[in-house]
Amino acid sequence: NAGVTQTPKFQVLKTGQSMTLQCAQDMNHNSMYWYRQDPGMGLRLIYYSASEGTTDKGEVPNGYNVSRLNKREFSLRLESAAPSQTSVYFCASSDRSGLETQYFGPGTRLLVL
């Protein structure tokens, strides 16, 4: 089992460009999450999907959109990237809720110039 996979691993964008971060899990988990990690701030929840077909805002959703494509896949889209979105993005999944163990992907490092 690969666990949680993320693509790409690293991306450079110019201000105003758009891109989609992909995440997939092979553990048959119901819930999936997108976090961003910034120095000195820990991880902050952007969006989550409690189950297939549902998505909800987290702590820092502005500037992002998500799609729960199916049970396995949960994508994060930046429509018009800004330098403030330079960060490391982590996708995670859990069986039913965030109170259970969350399994994290290796992260996507995004630089917006």
Partner 1 sequence: AQSVTQPDIHITVSEGASLELRCNYSYGATPYLFWYVQSPGQGLQLLLKYFSGDTLVQGIKGFEAEFKRSQSSFNLRKPSVHWSDAAEYFCAVGDTGGFKTIFGAGTRLFVKA
Residues that bind partner 1 (CB under 8 A): 4, 31, 33, 40-45, 48, 50, 56, 58-59, 90, 92, 96-99, 101-102, 104-107
Shortest reach from residue 38's CB to partner 1, in Å: 10
Shortest reach from residue 61's CB to partner 1, in Å: 12
Q: Which residues contact 58 (CB under 8 A, 6 or more apart)?
A: 33, 34, 44, 45, 46, 47, 48
Shortest reach from residue 103's CB to partner 1, in Å: 8
Whose Cβ is closer to partner 1: residue 17's or residue 72's? 72
Whose Cβ is closer to partner 1: residue 13's or residue 107's? 107
Token pair listed for 19: 């891109």
Whether cis (ω within 30° of 0) applies to the bond prior to 8 is: yes
Q: Is 11 exposed, middle or buried (0-12, 13-18, 19+ CB in 10 A)?
A: middle
Whose Cβ is closer to partner 1: residue 81's or residue 92's? 92
Shortest reach from residue 16's CB to partner 1, in Å: 29
Q: C-alpha dihedral over 44, 10, 71, 57, to 10 degrees?
A: 30
